[in-house]
Amino acid sequence: MLKRVGAVLAVLFLLPYPASAFAQEPDAAMLTAIDRIFDEWRVEAHVPGLVYGIVKDGRVIAIKGHGIQDLESRRPVDADTRFRIASMSKAFTALAVLKLRDEGKLSLDALAETYVPEMRGWTYPTKDSPRIRVRDLLNHDAGFVTDDPWGDRQQPMSEAAFTAMLRAGVPFARAPGLTMEYSNFGYATLGLIITRVSGKRYQDFIRDSFFMPLGMTSTSYDISRSPVDRRALGYRWQDEIWLREPDMADGVFGAMGGVETTAKDYARWIAFLLSAWPARDDPDTGPVARATVREIAEGSNFVQTAMRAPAIGGMPCRQAIAYGMGWRVVDDCDLGHALVHAGGYPGYGSNVLLLPANGLAIFAFTNKTYSGPSVPVFRTALALHAANLLSPRVIPVSKAVADGYAIAKTIWAAGDVAIAQDSLAMNFLLDHDLAHRKTELAEVRTEVGLCPATEPVVAESALAATFIWTCERGRLKGSLLLAPTQKLELQALGFEAVKP
């Protein structure tokens, strides 16, 4: 179903998503401000055309195009314009590998040469080097050299030429398993594994596994079959003019960067990914299980830190970054847990940001060489955050938490943990004895006065929660943590007066 809200296209997808929403819907002024962020950046970056989208819990909040698809026809960019998204394609490759793992057709911990025998004769950089596993290719820690921009130009390579290259062996930057180093070559190898394990050409397997089930009918790898009037042609900015980049045909390196898609189609893809959070009891209805989708966010443990780009704005922020499976996993000072990926390619640039805890995604595509729009994407997320328009998905209160909260209220009313001694874990009084707990509880009760304690508890998990009470002489903050025992027992309980 489509509806037009001002100049912004809203698309509703009939897919199951957990209930949550913006704290309040972005109003017209906020949407106008976001639109300005993207268009001003496009002009300053000399980008011919750009489209961006914002998705929240399966619903498109905004899709908007700016500029032109190509310099000849000067058709305006819109939600149906096809862009190559470069390395954002890796997310499809990674999830396809996990899908085949789920089907019992491959193992992430198997040696890659199990599926690509051409790798068996390789000379590794040291005598103690471990041989490359499938997992190492996913996480970019196979020891290959960073190959941007070399890999970007290998898109048309045939499978025969690629297997010949594999058979001859490649030089290593370092031994496998030592650190994360981004490798397009590694993801092209994963594409070959998918072909051989699935029995289908890589591109056909992705189409049948994801594009078609999700209704992504305008998404493919072979640009020669794309409608000419819907394609954003690629350009580079050189000597103060735009120069046309040559199109690259579909080939074996498509697994690292060959997807061509529209904003409408891509919104379906990220809406599906976001629907994997939170974990819940609903039936799995997607192309792969929700638990499998959540694996993409598991970093490879080679965590690095970097300052967030100053051009994005906001307070200085040092981010922790690891590489999951087709996604960079980021801990951001303002936005928290995020999945991000850029795409850089001759003639194109793209960027996507997923906030799983908020059910939110922002993405943008452009048709200028390596013009990754990470700045406007992050600026938009920070603008929504600053306006208090992001709300985390609410964790349901489990029966255990509800019962633990009732015990906490009983202890508070009595002024003594002894009243609930049968509900205390064995560590509770060993960590802090009965007498001291009673004294400290009395001090807090004296400070805040009477507390009706009618406020709801806020779950942090199925076994932990916090609560804030408005009391006679101020506010009280509490927390409870249940023990990992079959019988409901408190392993920790805290009451603290909130200082003004």
Closest CA to 213 of 122, 112, 96, 300: 96
Q: 435: which 2 tokens?
A: 């007498």
pLDDT of residue 24: 63
pLDDT of residue 160: 97
pLDDT of residue 2: 30
Cα–Cα separations (whole angstroms), residue 225 to 41, 230, 240, 260, 263: 31, 11, 32, 11, 18
Find the radius of gyration of the CA atoms of the chain: 26
Domain ranges across the chain = 2-94+200-386, 399-498
Instruction: List the chain pLDDT tens, one digit each, 500 residues.
Output: 233 333 333 333 434 444 444 556 788 999 999 999 999 999 999 999 999 999 999 999 999 999 999 999 999 999 999 999 999 999 999 999 999 999 999 999 999 999 999 999 999 999 999 999 999 999 999 999 999 999 999 999 999 999 999 999 999 999 999 999 999 999 999 999 999 999 999 999 999 999 999 999 999 999 999 999 999 999 999 999 999 999 999 999 999 999 999 999 999 999 999 999 999 999 999 999 999 999 999 988 899 999 999 999 889 999 999 999 999 999 999 999 999 999 999 999 999 999 999 999 999 999 999 999 999 999 999 999 999 888 888 899 999 999 999 999 999 999 999 999 999 999 999 999 999 999 999 999 999 999 999 999 999 999 999 999 999 999 999 999 999 999 999 999 999 999 87
- Concatenated DSSP letters of 226-242: S-GGGB---EEEETTEE
pLDDT of residue 391: 83
Closest CA to 325 of 351, 352, 299: 299
pLDDT of residue 500: 75
> Distance between CA atoms of 5 and 61, rounded to whole angstroms?
10
Please state which CATH class domain 2-94+200-386 belongs to: alpha beta
pLDDT of residue 13: 41
CB atoms within 10 A of CB 436: 10
Q: Is 349 exposed, middle or buried (0-12, 13-18, 19+ CB in 10 A)?
A: buried
Q: Which helix (H) or strand (E) holds 343?
A: strand 336-345
pLDDT of residue 17: 40
pLDDT of residue 299: 84
